[in-house]
Amino acid sequence: MSSYDKLIFELSQPGRIGFTLADEEFSNVDYNQFFNEDELRTSELDFPEINETEVVRHYTALSNLNFGVDTGFYPLGSCTMKYNPKINEEIAGNPKFSHIHPEQPIEDVQGTLNLMYDCSEALAEITGMDAISLQPAAGSHGELTGLMIMKAYHLSRGDHHRVNIIVPDSAHGTNPASANMSGFNTVEIKSKANGAVDVEALKAAIDENFAGLMLTNPSTLGLFERNIEEITKIVHEAGGLLYYDGANMNAIMSQVRPGDMGFDIIHLNLHKTFSTPHGGGGPGAGPIGVKARLEKFLPFPVLEKQEEKFVLNYDRPDSIGKIKNYYGNIGIVTRAYTYILRMGRDGLKRASEVAVLNANYMQKRLKAHYHLPIDELCKHEFVLSGNFGLTHGINTIDIAKRLLDFGFHPPTIYFPLIIDQAMMVEPTETESLQSMDKFIDAMIKIRGEIDTDPDILHTAPNTTHISRIDEVEAARNPIIRYMKEEA
């Protein structure tokens, strides 16, 4: 990779411009006439002065410092970094979809409302839920929305005391954070060694304050929760609701549906299972699904079909309220629905089959070389341990950094927390046998280096344009914005 570390501010040259406006006479008006003196900015707007060519070169150079799914294999567990189809982008970029103001009357936007409606129906079918809201902007936002619905449900029954959400210690960090944000207390229960719910621990944690259980299934260790029927029964008999974290939905499409397992509330990550690009951190979309008895609590407005017309219903007295501006990240929903139609029922089924096939293949081949703490049939991902004992002085981080030298994005590391030195591998269905074999070969080579040449791991990565970063110093003396005097 080429080296480039300039900031846009450092390219600035006085007098350069990158953009011009129409109707120049309006840009030269004395604006003082419109405002009081004390309403005007006096500080300097110190933006760069730079022309269009250089802006293009700068961001092109920055893009060359990045690694995406289109660059290479990205087996980042729990993140489902599958291929992002390009037609999705083209469809969503059609101005007939993208150039619509959210306050246009519904008569103007029947096409988009129809698409949202059909996408909701498809998601309900795939998940076995009764009603969908597309409003949440991301997975954790879906969690927050779903938990608010859980709260509204208990309050509507007069159960003000139900304030405890049980979360297994293998859960994503967003689960307890969302519980706290929606006004619940989190009760963490220990999982069994293989990451499954410890049914006895669950029973012991349930008391009169129990509100619900948040579960990821397949679990964050990539294993299907075999006791799901018993867990559902325990939760429901105790008056609680069961929440499904849909981060791992890619393993089970057309094999088992959260609704059929007994889940009451779910969220989906369209940027994982439904192929929309992650954009270096977003935007995502986190639709939620609920069972019929919870439908009245969904965020407003609710999209309804009245004869042949699609309407947005705001008259929802039991609704939790609004949780996002307007209707959701509809541009992302458009991409995801394009994907769903393109794949069809046969394609979605095949996607989950191959996601699981690929993961089991990699697990089988890698366990001959690495410690596999839980040696069972896995679903779409599995977890290795980078703990080789102290003599090697090698940790998971060193393996991850060494993988960069081989041109791979490393697996998710140090999560789930219940596996020491975890490395979570999720190939997804869009990787070929050859690309997985190359990764496995690299892992085997690295395993050999741990014994023969551990230094090469300690110093890795050696081929990227920067080496490992001093994160301690960065956090001790945070520099989080450019300051001119440092230039």
Partner 1 sequence: MKVLENLLYNEEHEWIQLEGDVATFGITDYAQDMLGGIVYVELPEEEDEVEQGDSFITIESVKAATDVLSPVDGEIIAVNEALDDAPESLNDAPYEAWIVKIRVNDLSQLDNWMDKEAYEAFCAKEA
Partner 2 sequence: MFPYIPVSKNDEKHMLDIIGVGNIDDLFVDIPENVRFRGELKLPLQKSEIEIRQIMNGYASKNISASDKLCFLGDGTYDSYIPSIVPYLTSRSEFSTAYTPYQPEISQGTLHGIFEFQSLVCNLTDMDASNASMYDGPTAAAEAALMAFDKSKGNTFAIASTVNQNTIDVITTYLKYRNHEVLIIDQKDLRADLEDFKAKASKDLVGVLVQSPNRYGYLEDVKGFVEIANENKAIGVMYADPSSLALLKTPGELGVDVVVGDMQQFGNAMNFGGPHIGFMAATAKLMRKLPGRIAGQAKDRRGNRAFVLTLQAREQHIRRDKAASNICSNQALNALSSTIYMSLLGKTGLKELAINNTSKAHYLHDVLIKTGSFEKVSNGNFYREFVLRSKVDVKTLNEHLNKNNILSLKVVGTDLVQFTVTENRTKSELDYLIQVVEGL
Q: Does 476 help bind partner 1 (rule: CB under 8 A)?
A: yes
Indicate which of partner 1, partner 2, none lies near residue 457 (CB less than 5 to 8 Å, by partner kind). Answer: none
Integer Cα distance of 433 and 440 in angstroms: 10
Q: Does 41 help bind partner 1 (rule: CB under 8 A)?
A: no
When the beta carbons of 107 and 471 are compared against partner 1, the nearer one is 471
Indicate which of partner 2, partner 1, none lies near residue 343 (CB less than 5 to 8 Å, by partner kind). Answer: partner 2
CB of 390 to partner 1, least distance (A): 12
Using the rule CB under 8 A, give the single segment among 50-58, 231-239, 281-289, 468-476 that binds partner 1.
Answer: 468-476
Residue type, 219: S
Indicate which of partner 1, partner 2, none lies near residue 292 (CB less than 5 to 8 Å, by partner kind). Answer: none
Contact with partner 1 (CB under 8 A): which of 44, 346, 471, 486? Answer: 471
In 3-state terms, what secondary structure has residue 197? strand
Within 179-238, the residues that bind partner 1 by CB under 8 A are none
Indicate which of partner 1, partner 2, none lies near residue 393 (CB less than 5 to 8 Å, by partner kind). Answer: none
Integer Cα distance of 404 and 399 in angstroms: 9
When the beta carbons of 424 and 451 are compared against partner 2, the nearer one is 424
When the beta carbons of 64 and 209 are compared against partner 2, the nearer one is 64
CB of 371 to partner 2, least distance (A): 19
Angle at 143 between CA 182 and CA 104, to 5 degrees: 95
When the beta carbons of 6 and 203 are compared against partner 2, the nearer one is 6
Within 403-442, the residues that bind partner 1 by CB under 8 A are 414
When the beta carbons of 96 and 476 are compared against partner 1, the nearer one is 476
CB of 408 to partner 2, least distance (A): 9
Q: Does 387 help bind partner 1 (rule: CB under 8 A)?
A: no
| DSSP secondary structure letter of residue 192 | P
Integer Cα distance of 44 and 330 in angstroms: 37
Contacts for 62 with CB less than 8 Å, ≥ 6 apart: 4
Using the rule CB under 8 A, give the single segment among 78-86, 185-193, 268-276, 467-475 that binds partner 1.
Answer: 467-475
Indicate which of partner 1, partner 2, none lies near residue 350 (CB less than 5 to 8 Å, by partner kind). Answer: partner 2
When the beta carbons of 389 and 480 are compared against partner 2, the nearer one is 480
Q: Does 480 help bind partner 1 (rule: CB under 8 A)?
A: no
Q: Does 475 help bind partner 1 (rule: CB under 8 A)?
A: yes
Angle subtended by helix axes 330-366 and 433-452, to nearest 10: 50
Q: Does 472 help bind partner 1 (rule: CB under 8 A)?
A: yes
CB of 389 to partner 2, least distance (A): 25
When the beta carbons of 200 and 420 are compared against partner 1, the nearer one is 420
Laid out side by side, the sheet with 164-168 consists of 131-133, 288-290, 265-268, 241-246, 210-216, 164-168, 185-189
Residue 447 vs residues 359, 366, 393, 401, 435: alpha-carbon distances, Å: 20, 10, 13, 13, 19
CA 351: distance to chain centroid?
18
Segment 303-312 long-range contacts (CB within 8 Å, at least 24 positions apart): 303/113, 303/116, 303/117, 303/120, 303/134, 303/327, 305/117, 309/106, 309/110, 310/106, 310/110, 310/113, 310/114, 310/116, 310/117, 311/106, 311/113, 312/106, 312/113
Contacts for 387 with CB less than 8 Å, ≥ 6 apart: 371, 395, 396, 420, 421
Indicate which of partner 1, partner 2, none lies near residue 338 (CB less than 5 to 8 Å, by partner kind). Answer: partner 2
CB of 476 to partner 1, least distance (A): 5
Number of residues counted as binding partner 1 (CB under 8 A): 5
Q: Does 389 help bind partner 1 (rule: CB under 8 A)?
A: no
When the beta carbons of 44 and 470 are compared against partner 1, the nearer one is 470
Dump the DSSP string for 324-360: SSTT--HHHHHHHHHHHHHHHHHHHHHHHHHHHHHHH
Indicate which of partner 1, partner 2, none lies near residue 282 (CB less than 5 to 8 Å, by partner kind). Answer: partner 2
When the beta carbons of 475 and 480 are compared against partner 1, the nearer one is 475
CB of 389 to partner 1, least distance (A): 16
Residue type, 451: D
Indicate which of partner 1, partner 2, none lies near residue 381 (CB less than 5 to 8 Å, by partner kind). Answer: none
Dump the DSSP string for 124-177: HHHHT-SEEE---SSHHHHHHHHHHHHHHHHHHTT-TT--EEEEETTS-THHHH
CB of 392 to partner 2, least distance (A): 20
Integer Cα distance of 257 and 129 in angstroms: 8
Angle at 74 between CA 76 and CA 469, to 5 degrees: 75
Q: Does 21 help bind partner 1 (rule: CB under 8 A)?
A: no
Instruction: Provide the binding-site residues for partner 1, judged by CB under 8 A.
Output: 414, 471-472, 475-476
